[in-house]
Amino acid sequence: MIKVRQYRAEDRDALVKLWQTVFPDDPPHNAPEKVIDEKLRVDDLIFVAYHDNAMVGACMAGYDGHRGWLYAVAVLASCRRQGVGEQMIKHVLEHLKQLGCGKVNLQIRADNTEVETFYRSLGFDVEERMSMGLRMT
């Protein structure tokens, strides 16, 4: 049975390990320790999924009062296709809805068709947009 809940301080080591495992090639500005600290300075919208007392998934969310976002959605490879991601995302979406969020966005790499199929199964659609970014560091 999967249990999804908001992040607690005692989850830190497990979350760092999970994100390092799932995103091994992330650039230094996405270092899990840094991301966790920065996120918690803003809000506490980090969610974790546990199975048998082991963290198997996590999702960081954002909400600016207008639109929500999903970031750093991760499920251990050994736990994929078992409903972990679906249960976790539905939990996060419900939490955002309770905050008043009416629309949620996310970004995935264009060549990640497997993840695209997963999000489509949850009701997400591709919106034609150009994603731009500016690194400030």
Q: What is the CATH number of the domain that holds 85?
A: 3.40.630.30
Instruction: Calculate ∠ Cα 98-35-61, nearest 5°.
Output: 15
- Within a domain: 129: no
- Within a domain: 126: no
d(CA 44, CA 40): 5
Q: What is the pLDDT of residue 85?
A: 94
pLDDT digits (tens), the chain, 137 positions: 999 999 999 999 999 999 999 999 888 889 999 999 999 999 999 999 999 999 999 999 999 999 999 999 999 999 999 999 999 999 999 999 999 999 999 998 888 888 999 999 999 999 988 888 888 87
**What pTM was estimated for this model as a whole?**
0.91
- Within a domain: 135: no
- Within a domain: 127: no
Q: Is 106 exposed, middle or buried (0-12, 13-18, 19+ CB in 10 A)?
A: middle
Q: Are 30 and 22 in contact (CB under 8 A)?
A: no
Residue 63 lies in domain: 2-121
Number of folded domains that form the chain: 1
Beta strand segments in the chain, E: 2-6, 46-51, 54-63, 68-75, 104-106
- Within a domain: 128: no
Q: What is the pLDDT of residue 129?
A: 83
